Structure 1
C-alpha cells in the first residue's frame, strides 16, 4: 500500500508542475500573442 501511495503522490506532484508550466505558456501566449516556450 505504501508503494501505491508513493506513486500517487509523485504523479500528482509531476502533474502539478506540468500544469504550472502549461499555464505559464498560455498566459504568455495570451498577453504577448507569442508562444514563449522558454519556461
Structure 2
C-alpha cells in the first residue's frame, strides 16, 4: 500500500501513484499532482 506524501490518503492503484519530486514530494496521488501543477503555474 502506498500513501500520498501530500494529503496522506492511501493510493490503491499503482497507476495512480505519481512522482512529485519536482514539487518536493516523493509519491503523490493523481489529484495532488494536478493541484501541485496548478499551484506552480501561478
Larger Rg: 1
Q: Looking at both structures, which has the greater relative contact order when contacts are Cα pairs under 8 Å and sequence separation is at least 6?
A: 2
* TM-score in terms of structure 2 length: 0.36
Structure holding more strand per residue: 2
Q: When the two structures are superposed, what TM-score results if normalisation uses the length of structure 1?
A: 0.38
